[in-house]
C-alpha cells in the first residue's frame, strides 16, 4: 500500500483543484491598464446593467467580515447570522448582446433540490434551507426571452456565484480570472463535484489575460470587449482569480466588486472579508484599491458581492 502512495499523491492533488472543468487563455478582448480605464471611467458608455437578487440568504458574519480587524473589534461586531443576497447582473451591450456577471441560483435548487448542482452534504453544510427565492436564473431567463445569454463573466468560482450555471444554456462561453479553476485547496475535495456539475455542458473556461498594470494600481486590467465598455479588474485575495468588473453605462460607470467585498459594513469601514477568503492580507489590499478607485470617482455606482 505504502509503495503505491507516490502514485496516489498526484490523484489526491488533482482531486483538490476547484474543478476538473478545463480552462484556457481567453480570446475575447485585450489586456489593458488602469490608466486606459481611468481615462474613460467618468464618460458615459453603451452598456446597461440590471442587478437581480436571486435569493435572500444568511451566513456567518465571521466569514463575510474579518472580526479580528481592529475596526471590527472597536465596533464590537460579533459573530452570528448576517442577512445577505445572492445576485446576478445582466449586462446588455448594444452590439455584443446580453452577458451575465455571476449566475445567482438555479431553479432546480428550489423546485428539485435532489437534482441541483449543489446537493447532499454540501447543501446541508451551506444551510441552503435559509434561502428565500426571488429570481432563480432559469425562471428569470424564461421571463426575459429577449436576453439570449452570449456569455457569463464570473467574479470567482465559489458555489454561491456559479450555482445558476445549470440554467445557463449549454455551449455558452464562460469567463473567469487566472488560476480560479486550477487553484488547489483541501476544501475543494468536498465542493469539486458541485462545481463540476454547475459548469457541465459548457466549453472550457476562458481565463482573463491580465498583463501587469504599469501603474501598479491593480494586479491586472482587461478590456473585456476591446471597446473600453467593460473592464475586468484582477482583485485577488478572496480567491486567486477574483475579478471585479467596471461597466460603463449611459448613466455613469458601475463597479461590481464580487466578493472582494461582501458587505455594506465592510465597504463603509474598509474591513476585509473574513474566513471565506483564502488570503486575507491580499484581500485587504484589493479592497483598499477598489475603495480608492471609488473615492476618486464619487459618481461610481458600487455594487457589493452580497449586500446593496
Coil, strand, or helix at residue 48?
A: strand
- In this complex, which beta carbon is closest to Zn ion, that of residue 2 or of residue 186? 186
- In this complex, which beta carbon is closest to Zn ion, that of residue 61 or of residue 96? 61
Residue 99 CB partners (closer than 8 Å, separation 6+) = 90, 91, 93, 149, 150, 151, 152, 153
Distance, CA of 36 to CA of 229 (rounded, Å)? 11
Give DSSP secondary structure letters for 60-116: EHHHHS-TTSHHHHHTT---SEEEEEEEEEEEEETTTEEEEES----THHHH-GGGS
Residues 256-275 that bind Zn ion (CB under 5 A): 259
- In this complex, which beta carbon is closest to Zn ion, that of residue 158 or of residue 289? 158
- In this complex, which beta carbon is closest to Zn ion, that of residue 91 or of residue 235? 235
Residues 159-178 that bind Zn ion (CB under 5 A): 160
Distance, CA of 73 to CA of 90 (rounded, Å)? 37
User: Binding-site residue total for Zn ion (CB under 5 A)?
Assistant: 3
Binding window for Zn ion (CB under 5 A); candidates: 59-67, 188-196, 216-224, 251-259: 251-259
Q: How far is the CB of 102 from Zn ion (least distance, A)?
A: 8
- In this complex, which beta carbon is closest to Zn ion, that of residue 206 or of residue 283? 283
Q: How far is the CB of 5 from Zn ion (least distance, A)?
A: 33
Binding window for Zn ion (CB under 5 A); candidates: 12-20, 102-110, 151-159, 187-195: 151-159
Which three cell numbers, joined as nine digits, stand for 242? 477574483
Angle subtended by helix axes 5-15 and 188-199, to nearest 10: 50
Q: How far is the CB of 238 from Zn ion (least distance, A)?
A: 6
Q: How far is the CB of 94 from Zn ion (least distance, A)?
A: 30
- In this complex, which beta carbon is closest to Zn ion, that of residue 225 or of residue 265? 265
Task: Tell which one of 89, 119, 158, 303 touches Zn ion (CB under 5 A).
Answer: 158
- In this complex, which beta carbon is closest to Zn ion, that of residue 160 or of residue 219? 160
Q: ∠ CA 160-166-169 to the nearest 5 degrees?
A: 130
Binding window for Zn ion (CB under 5 A); candidates: 106-114, 120-128, 152-160, 246-254: 152-160
Element of type H or E holding 152: strand 149-153
Q: How far is the CB of 15 from Zn ion (least distance, A)?
A: 21
Q: How far is the CB of 220 from Zn ion (least distance, A)?
A: 19
- In this complex, which beta carbon is closest to Zn ion, that of residue 158 or of residue 197? 158
Q: How far is the CB of 27 from Zn ion (least distance, A)?
A: 26
Query: In this structure, what DSSP letter does residue 184 have?
Result: B
Alpha-carbon 14 to chain mean position: 23
Q: How far is the CB of 43 from Zn ion (least distance, A)?
A: 31
Percent composition of the chain: helix, strand, coil (DSSP 3-state, to 5): 30, 25, 45
Helices of type H across the chain: 5-15, 34-40, 61-64, 70-74, 108-111, 121-125, 137-143, 159-162, 188-199, 264-269, 280-296
x/- string (CB under 5 A) for Zn ion, residues 104-143? ----------------------------------------
* Residues engaged in binding Zn ion (CB under 5 A): 158, 160, 259
Amino acid at each position: 500500500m505504502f509503495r503505491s502512495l507516490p502514485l496516489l499523491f498526484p490523484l489526491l492533488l488533482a482531486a483538490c483543484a476547484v474543478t476538473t472543468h478545463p480552462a484556457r487563455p481567453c480570446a475575447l478582448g485585450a489586456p489593458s491598464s488602469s490608466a486606459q480605464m481611468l481615462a474613460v471611467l467618468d464618460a458615459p458608455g453603451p452598456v446597461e446593467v440590471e442587478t437581480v437578487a436571486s435569493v435572500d440568504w444568511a451566513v456567518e458574519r465571521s466569514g463575510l467580515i474579518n472580526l479580528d480587524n481592529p475596526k471590527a473589534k472597536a465596533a464590537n461586531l460579533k459573530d452570528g447570522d448576517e442577512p445577505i443576497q445572492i445576485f446576478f447582473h445582466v449586462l446588455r451591450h448594444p452590439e455584443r448582446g446580453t452577458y451575465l456577471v455571476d449566475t445567482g441560483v438555479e431553479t432546480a435548487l428550489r423546485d428539485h433540490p435532489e437534482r441541483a448542482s449543489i446537493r447532499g452534504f454540501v447543501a446541508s453544510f451551506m444551510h441552503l434551507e435559509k434561502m428565500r427565492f426571488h429570481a432563480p436564473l432559469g425562471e428569470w431567463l424564461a421571463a426575459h426571452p429577449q436576453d439570449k445569454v452570449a456569455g457569463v463573466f464570473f467574479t470567482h468560482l465559489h458555489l454561491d456565484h456559479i450555482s445558476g450555471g445549470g440554467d445557463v444554456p449549454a455551449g455558452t462561453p464562460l469567463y473567469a480570472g487566472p488560476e480560479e479553476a486550477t487553484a488547489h485547496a483541501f476544501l475543494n475535495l468536498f465542493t469539486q463535484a458541485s462545481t463540476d456539475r454547475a459548469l457541465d455542458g459548457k466549453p472550457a473556461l476562458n481565463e482573463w489575460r491580465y498583463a501587469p498594470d504599469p501603474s501598479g494600481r491593480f494586479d491586472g486590467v482587461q478590456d473585456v470587449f476591446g471597446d473600453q465598455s467593460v473592464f475586468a479588474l484582477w482583485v485577488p485575495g478572496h480567491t486567486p482569480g477574483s475579478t471585479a468588473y467596471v461597466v460603463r453605462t449611459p448613466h455613469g460607470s458601475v463597479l461590481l466588486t464580487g466578493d472582494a467585498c461582501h458587505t455594506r459594513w465592510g465597504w463603509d469601514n474598509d474591513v476585509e472579508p473574513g474566513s471565506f477568503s483564502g488570503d486575507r492580507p491580499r484581500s485587504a489590499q484589493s479592497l483598499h484599491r477598489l475603495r480608492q478607485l471609488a473615492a476618486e470617482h464619487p459618481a461610481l455606482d458600487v455594487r457589493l458581492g452580497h449586500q446593496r
